[in-house]
A and B are shown apart, each in its own frame.
Chain A
């Protein structure tokens, strides 16, 4: 008989895997990995906010992630610095601010590691409602904007010239991404959440011929990573989130290496 806490961890991770596959694929296609990383790391300020106000962690992180996304968009309009420099600045700045704010509010005994890497074995029933309820809403909205998002990912200018309302569609996507980060942060931590999104998508790419197939393969790979990672974690006492992400990263590396040697043989 599996222990209830392990069962909850499994249910949470599988739910997140299914949510991560389409969002992660879109992040990869739109070259937004660093953007998402910055949003996630800014979320530590959301943790501090929830400590300060005594509000729900998920809602605080959601609010801060959306504000961070808006700030990035605003700073992206200036032309003096490239976007990756702006993101680097925000990413480290907000992480530093978050660590200081969290420590100041919760005292030196705060479990910073728990926020950075999550605690998959501390999943509560309420977390599961967030993952499956919130996740279903995110996937439903994503389904509505899937086609315009694909058109923007193929060729941004062409899509805009053809009348795709790029700003609105991207804003919706950013809110969906922020929501996903907020839902996943307690379980995977601010440092691992984006990896959990993009690594399965990266691993799936060599085997995919359509966008939807890439999402399906990514979901399968993410679930496999969850199962193997949690098994390793249960047997060896390794922390759950990092174990899952490590397994996924190894799968992605093998997949990409196989693809590049396969290409070399063909050419």
Chain B
């Protein structure tokens, strides 16, 4: 607790009330660093993990003088579901873009295993209506798949009926499922899904995560999910990486939550720490998904405002 408090006050990571992630208590995190002294960082000495599908060390990114990412280390392995959580503006999508090679990091190094095949579902999939194309055609574009393969992939994601639809006519939820089907058709060993539940209703959301978990079991691919919703994270991931420009923590939330030794291992700090994270909503969930009291009243004046921001 003292460490957490000190960190929040002394971090100097932005204005008071800004989303601050203080979850070092989950035990697998590194210290916070803010000045980019690469050599002095405690974990900078860890080499890239060459067995990982994708391994990154010390990733830093700045745009227009603003730090977006700082000293980020992350490894993605076969068969593991890793969820990247963090408040809006924490740099989650930027990190994904850097990992996928869509954006070049200013500092750090990234290793992509030779056999890496990425199936990617971007956060937004807006189709320009000027381009006429059916879903089937798009799902076969650059992929060795026949109509039966496409139909099977669409059935898997519950979007069978759109196979002959024009891309531009899809709803947001249909487009998300369709793009997930394309990602699966590529036979990836790493599936990267950026906020995959946008435009999907709550039941659809649970279904989607169940599907991803099942396919991971069947095919053994690694998964990187991006979410701003901690509730969803709890049920779906093997490992959670909490990002707020730097990696605040990474841990195994579901296992931790159900483990009776949880308290003994991590103390009450971890639960409280998640509550610290969660208080950016106007409510919080404990690790079993139950609503718990947030930090004392008055300490979070902007709660309702941030609630709108996060629950959009």
Contact = CB atoms under 8 A, between A and B. Distances in A.
Interface in B119-152: 120, 122, 125, 127-128, 130-134, 137-138, 141-142
A184 to B, nearest CB: 22
Contacts of B138: 154
Given A154-B167, A158-B179, A211-B131, A147 B141 contact: yes
B120 A154 contact: no
Contacts of B167: 154
The residue in B64, B118, B130, B134 that gathers the most chain A C-beta atoms within 10 A of its C-beta is: B130
A205 B131 CA distance: 8
A147 B134 CA distance: 15
A154 B132 contact: no
A106 B72 CA distance: 62
A160 B192 CA distance: 14
B132 A157 contact: no
A211 B132 contact: yes
A150 B141 CA distance: 8
B44 interface: no
Contacts, number: 65
B166 to A, nearest CB: 7
B127 A210 contact: no
Contacts of B133: 150, 154, 210-211
A147 B137 CA distance: 11
Contacts of A28: 130
Contacts of A209: 132, 134, 166
A29 B118 contact: no
B6 interface: no
Contacts of A161: 100-102, 118, 120, 122, 192
A198 B100 CA distance: 34
A92 interface: no
Contacts of A214: 132
Interface string A8-52: 000000000000000000001101000000000000000000000
Given A150-B141, A161-B120, A213 B186 contact: no
A264 interface: no
A234 to B, nearest CB: 34
A162 B142 contact: yes
A163 B130 CA distance: 24
A154 B175 CA distance: 12
A153 B134 CA distance: 14
Given A150-B141, A154-B167, A29 B64 contact: no
A148 B142 contact: yes
B178 to A, nearest CB: 11
Chain B, interface residues (CB within 8 Å), range: 20 to 34
Interface string B99-129: 0111000000000000000101010010110
A79 interface: yes
Q: Is the interface of A mostly helix, strand, loop or mixed?
A: helix
A40 to B, nearest CB: 20
A175 B100 CA distance: 28
A160 to B, nearest CB: 6
B134 to A, nearest CB: 7
B44 to A, nearest CB: 28
A209 to B, nearest CB: 5
Contacts of B182: 158
A58 to B, nearest CB: 30
B117 to A, nearest CB: 9
B122 A205 contact: no
Interface in A186-222: 205, 208-211, 213-214
The residue in B127, B128, B134 that gathers the most chain A C-beta atoms within 10 A of its C-beta is: B128
B132 A213 contact: yes
Contacts of A205: 130, 132
A208 B134 CA distance: 11
A155 B122 contact: yes
A157 B141 contact: no
A164 B102 CA distance: 11
B188 to A, nearest CB: 10
Contacts of B130: 28-29, 31, 205
Nearest to A80: B64
Nearest to B166: A209
B132 A162 contact: no
B137 A151 contact: no
A154 B118 CA distance: 18
A214 B128 CA distance: 15
A249 B278 CA distance: 57
Nearest to A214: B132
20 contacts: A31-B128, A79-B64, A147-B141, A150-B131, A150-B133, A153-B128, A154-B133, A154-B138, A154-B167, A155-B122, A155-B125, A157-B122, A158-B122, A158-B179, A160-B102, A161-B192, A162-B120, A163-B118, A208-B132, A213-B132
Interface of A: 28-29, 31, 79, 147-148, 150-151, 153-155, 157-158, 160-164, 205, 208-211, 213-214
Closest 6 CB pairs of A and B: A161-B120, A208-B132, A29-B131, A161-B100, A28-B130, A209-B132
Given A211-B132, A211-B133, 14 more contacts: A28-B130, A29-B131, A150-B131, A154-B141, A155-B122, A157-B97, A157-B102, A160-B100, A161-B192, A162-B142, A162-B186, A205-B130, A209-B132, A210-B137
